[in-house]
Amino acid sequence: MNSFRELKVWQKAMNLVTNIYTNTSIFPQNEQFGLTSQIRRSSVSIPSNIAEGFGRNTKNEFVRFLRISIGSLFELQTQLEISKNLEFVSIEEFN
């Protein structure tokens, strides 16, 4: 593999970021610097860490950054559940 762009996991993470930005654009304006910002940052960190780990050129470093990405996924899941509880997203969008 020549580039992190070829990794399916990176491609899927990039799609996730795009969906997150689209869906959070309708969040209340007063959440722009709160939950919206947190959700966007945690989603962006997922493909970013995958790419960074790939660029480290060692298996151990790549695995370490994949684990960091998984942590960001759990953070994002929690923030999305909060958004659902606050009815910023519908159950359908959440699923």
pLDDT tens for each residue of 10-25: 999 999 999 999 999 9
Question: How open is the CA angle 77-82-84, to the nearest 5 degrees?
Answer: 95
Q: In which domain, by residue range, is 95 found?
A: 52-95
Asked whether residue 85 is assigned to any structural domain, the reply reads: yes
Tokens of 52: 């960074």
**Is residue 86 situated within a structural domain?**
yes
In a domain, 25, yes or no: no
Asked if residue 16 belongs to a domain, the reply is no
Three-state DSSP at 57 gives coil
In the chain, the number of structural domains is 1
pLDDT tens, 25-84? 999 999 999 999 999 999 999 999 999 999 999 999 999 999 999 999 999 999 999 999
Sign of CA dihedral 2, 13, 44, 16: positive
What pTM, to 2 d.p., does this model score?
A: 0.93
